[in-house]
Each structure stands twice: as structure tokens, then as C-alpha cells.
Amino acid sequence: MKRYSLYTVVPIVFLVLISVNFAVISFSVERHENDLLEAAVEEKIHLAETINQGITSLTWTNLPMIKETFVTEMANFQDVRYIRIVNSDGTIYQSSIKGESGQFLDNKDISRVISSGKEIVKDDFYENEFIKLVIFPGHQDVTIWIGFTLDAVQETIQNIWFRDILIILSILGFSILALLMILYNIINPLSEITFACKKVMKGNLDVKIPVTSQTEIGELAVTFNKTIAALKESYSSLTKANQQTEEEKNKTLAIIRNFDDGLLFFDEENELALVNPQAELFLGVKARKIIKKPVLELTKIEPLKKIIQISGRRSPTTLKIKKVIRKELFMGPDLILEGSVIPILRKRKFRATGRRAGTLVIFHDVTREKRIERMKTEFVSIAAHQLRTPLSAIKWTLKMLLTGDMGKVSKKQKEFMEKTYKSNERMITLINDLLDVSRIEEGKHLYKKIPSDIEKICKNVIKLYKREIKEKALEFKFITPGKLPKVMVDKEKIEIAIKNIFENAIRYTPPKGKVAISLATGKKQIEVSISDTGVGIPENQQHRLFTKFFRGANIIRMETEGTGLGLFIAKNIIEAHKGRIWFESQEGKGSTFYLTLPIV
């Protein structure tokens, strides 16, 4: 930026002010000149009126000497050059100019003045001198001509010019001297402040400006000194804070380097900004080869491609997400990772959320857990299979005893055998549920999908519970809109899912309650809803409803028997069919479960 000195700027400003003042004077003088000119004209018009009154009171033909004397006397004004009395035909009756009386004037202004009855004021020349001429309409079609100079007006204007210029120059001169003295007392302190600021810019915070006056400049110097002192203190605090921050940073980096989980951090430009040693070990890639590279380029590296695809897109160019995403990643037979993508936000002062600062990817080694889980699943599967065979044998043996195929039994014996039979049935049901859970965890619970009629599947489930509905006097409704499109499902598994939900609705609805199954169709899916007026699910336990072995506290108090696997199995079956399951429930008022299945 170009620098200007106040010693240069101020004179320029004063020159501009002088120019403005001269323009104002010029305008004022011009107005005075116009006023003086108008006054001179008015004076000559008044003189013409006086002459007109004089000639109306005299008989011109009888008193020629009086006539000549009157006109000559009237022409003796200092600025009057001549006076004429001119008839309407242009004849000069009398003139202050010798030898002009009786001459003829051919001038159109005579008739114009007489016809309008108004005087004319115009510029004219007399003996090579510029004058003003007033032609005044007189008595009996006579015009009175008065020629006069503007010497008095010009002299007055010159005097005004001289006076005003002298006054303005005097005022401006004194003002300039006073201002230069003031500027001298301002510029020197400002120069000191400027010099001090330059020192501060170079890092010198020991600068102090001497206070030499009690004016605003002195106050500015005091404020500057206080500001530098505060800045010095703040700088000292900032240095300490930076040291603490650096220490915390080193601690954080030490934690990150020794963290058991792999960490990747992508900045707000979607470039990889941080890789910890554990991530290098998991991915088999050195940090120096991938750091500062964008997401799109990293998708070309096979191990990183799997990590980045946690975001849900096959070839993402950005990791901008709004919520935490978690997925399991099979990196090989000896490495299974649980990956999490977490958006990092900069919090604003007055808002809970703020601008995105980056994305953190965490992957945890769950290989051991998965092995244990697989072993547990295999154990459950083997144990269930091993248990189901003798339980089935016990079932058929008890059945044969109860039906009398092996001889007659007493009433007491029959009662015991019926209780044993029911207990055995519960054990078989539990074993079947455990086998279903094992298949679900192994991903083998769907065998064959065929186009199926969902209404028919629901009716098959309803038939199984007609006796229970009648015994509890439940008000049951099955609502269907009519012909529905088919769904591509494993018929047996979908029947199990609906059966598990419907059985809970009947079991946990008190006598004379209401249970209903409703079917509805959308553009791409069929919705099944199962509602009841049963005990409902406590609000603080609803988040655990679809987990294994969960049973609500109010359900356990009401009925101790149950595996807590029915809804877990139902959820996994529905989701395996690309459907969705959810519910609405209020404790003491009932529940409604919804599930959707895609149309063929």
C-alpha cells in the first residue's frame, strides 16, 4: 500500500478548501453583481418615471427652454450617458446629446415598448463604451431612453472581491500555521507509535512508548503500553499452553502407537492423515506408502478397499457419513476385524453439532471371539443333535404308554406321564430353537425360496392356535385386503417367524383380550402386523427385545417357562429375506409387531 505523509496530505486538503472557498466567493460575488445590476436598472426605471411625470406636467411646444434644461439636468447623474425623449414614430423630441433633437430613430423597440406598456432593458454601445439601455413607455406614446454605464457596479464588485479574498487568505493562513503546529505535535508521537509497532511485529515485546501529553495521543500511548503488557502476558501463557499441548499430543501419539486396535484418520479433505502401527500390521501396508492419499486412490489397495467399503459404497470417493457404521470384515482365515467408521465433528459454541473435521476408522481384531463363538455354536449344534435323538425316543415311548399300546396304565400313572410328556415337548422345542439359532449364526437357516402366498401361511399359523384362542375367549381378527401378490420366501422359515410372534401375542394376552393379524400391500412389499392387548414390553427393556435369551421382567413374573429365542429367530429370518421387523409397545396396553417381505 502506498504511504502518504500528513505533511503532504494536509496542504492538499487546504488547497482544495481554498478552491472551494474561491468558488463560494465567486458565486457570492456573482449574486452581488446581479443584485447591484438590478438595483441600477431599478434606479434608472425610477428616473424614467420621474422624467415621465415631468413631461406630463409641462407643455413642450410652449416651453422649449424648460424642456431642454429639464432633460439636461436629468442626464447629469454620474453614470448616465444620455437621455432621449422619442415619439412613437421614432422622432427624437429632446436629447441630452447636442444636435440630436429632431432626428429620426428606426428602432423596433419603440413600437414594442408602446404596445406592451413595459420597459425594455438591453445592452448597448455609446462612443465605443459598453452601456445598459432602458427604454421606458411614457405619456402619450412617448418613450424615454436612458443609457447608463456599469462603472459603479464594477467598482463595487472589485471592492467586494478584494475584501473577501483578503479575509479568506488571512483565515486560511492562520489556520494552516495552527494546523501544522498541531500536526507536528501529533505526527511525532504517531511516528514513535509506528516505530514501536514495527518492533512488536519483529517479536520485541519489551517496547514502551513514553507518555508526553494528556491528550488523546497520550491516551493512545498509555493504551498501547497496556496492550503490549497484556500481549506479553498472553504470549507467555500461550507458550506454556503450547508446551502443555505438545506434551498432551505426545501422550496421545504414544497411546495411538501402542493401541491394540488399528486406527485410520481421514481429514476433512478425505485424505488419509494418520495410520497407527497396529493398522500397518493388520493391513500389511507401510504408513509412508498410503499417508496423504485420497480415499479413491486407497480403494485400489486390496486390504484398504475392504476397510473403506465399511461406509456402504463399492467405490467411495469420500467418507462423509452422518452416523457411526459398524461391520465385520473377513480379512483372511486367521484374521477377522470389526470395523467402525465414526464421523468427527468440530463442535460450535452454541450448537451441539458443527462442521465435519474428518472421519475415524477403527478396526478391532475379533478373530479369537469369532473362533470361540463358532466353537460355541458348533458345541450347541452337536449337543442339540445329540439331545434331540434320545428326547424323540422318550417322546414316542411316552406316547405309546399314554395311548395304551404297551398295556393299560392307571389314572395316577397317566397324569405323571402326561406331565413328563409336556416337559419332554418343551425340551424338544428348546433343542429345535437352539438348532435354529446355530443355523442362523452359521448363515445356513434358509434352504429354499419359492413364490408363496403369505395369506395362506398366516392361515396355517392361525389353525395351530384355534384351541388356545377359544379357551381364552380372545377376540381374534384376521384382516386381509383380498388377493395379494406372492412373496419369494422359504415358506417353512417364514411360518416359524410368524408363529413365534403370534404365539407370544396369544400367550401374553389375558382372557377376553384382543389379537389381530392384518395384511397390507405396498409398491414393493407386503406388510404383516400382529397386534394384541397383552402385557406389553417395559420401555426400558425394549432395546433388548430381539437379543438371544431375553425375556421381559413382567413376562418372567407372569410365566417362568420360555427360552427367549423366539423373537431373535423371527428377526433373523425376516432380515435374511431382505425384509424388516419392528414393533410398538406400551406396558399394560399391548404390542404391535410389524414385518415386511419383498414382493416377487
The pLDDT averaged over each successive group of 10 residues in the chain (600 residues) is: 59 72 72 78 81 67 52 68 83 79 82 84 83 83 84 78 78 74 69 76 76 70 79 81 83 79 82 84 82 79 73 61 76 79 68 66 80 66 66 76 74 79 74 68 67 92 92 92 88 88 91 93 90 90 82 70 77 88 91 90
Cα separations in angstroms, 149 against 33, 130, 536: 14, 7, 119
127, containing H or E segment? none
Which of 565, 333, 567 has its CA nearest to residue 438? 565
Determine the pLDDT at residue 577. 87
In this structure, are residues 68 and 85 in contact, taking their beta carbons and an 8 Å threshold? no
Place of cell 429354499: 448
In this structure, are residues 336 and 366 in contact, taking their beta carbons and an 8 Å threshold? yes
Which of 25, 36, 255 has its CA nearest to residue 132? 36
Which of 520, 495, 512 has its CA nearest to residue 592? 520
Determine the pLDDT at residue 74. 64
Pick the CATH number of 6-156 from 3.30.450.20, 3.30.420.40, 3.40.50.970, 3.30.1490.190: 3.30.450.20
Burial class (CB in 10 A: 0-12, 13-18, 19+), 217: buried
**370 Cβ neighbours under 8 A, 6+ residues apart:** 336
Phi, psi of 353 (to 5 degrees): -115, 165
At position 413, the amino acid (one-letter code) is Q
Buried b (16+ CB within 10 A) or exposed e, 345-354: eeeeeeeeee
Which of 278, 324, 331 has its CA nearest to residue 301? 331
Phi, psi of 197 (to 5 degrees): -60, -40
At position 307, the amino acid (one-letter code) is I
Which of 472, 481, 544 has its CA nearest to residue 515? 472
- Domain map (residue ranges) of the chain: 6-156, 205-258, 259-365, 371-442, 450-598
How would you classify residue 119: left for phi > 0, otherwise alpha for psi between -120 and 50, otherwise beta? beta
User: Does the fold of domain 450-598 match that of domain 371-442?
Assistant: no
Long-range contacts of 370-376 (CB under 8 A, 24+ apart): 370/336, 373/441
Q: Helices marked H in 211-366 — which ranges?
A: 216-257, 277-283, 287-290, 295-298, 302-308
Phi, psi of 441 (to 5 degrees): -65, -25
Determine the pLDDT at residue 533. 93
State whether residue 314 is helix, strand or coil. Answer: coil
Pick the CATH number of 371-442 from 1.10.3720.10, 3.30.465.10, 1.10.287.130, 3.90.1170.50: 1.10.287.130
CA–CA gap between residue 553 and residue 541 (Å, rounded) = 8
In this structure, are residues 584 and 572 in contact, taking their beta carbons and an 8 Å threshold? no
Determine the pLDDT at residue 439. 65
At position 73, the amino acid (one-letter code) is E
Determine the pLDDT at residue 444. 59
In this structure, are residues 304 and 290 in contact, taking their beta carbons and an 8 Å threshold? yes
Determine the pLDDT at residue 596. 92
CA quadruple 155, 161, 162, 163: dihedral sign: positive
Place of cell 453439532: 353
* Topology classification of domain 450-598: Heat Shock Protein 90 (3.30.565)
The side-by-side arrangement of strands in the sheet containing 92-95 is 92-95, 80-87, 142-148, 129-137, 120-126
Phi, psi of 476 (to 5 degrees): -110, 140
CA–CA gap between residue 485 and residue 491 (Å, rounded) = 15
CA–CA gap between residue 519 and residue 531 (Å, rounded) = 12
Pick the CATH number of 259-365 from 3.40.50.300, 3.40.640.10, 3.30.450.20, 3.40.50.720: 3.30.450.20
12, containing H or E segment? helix 6-56
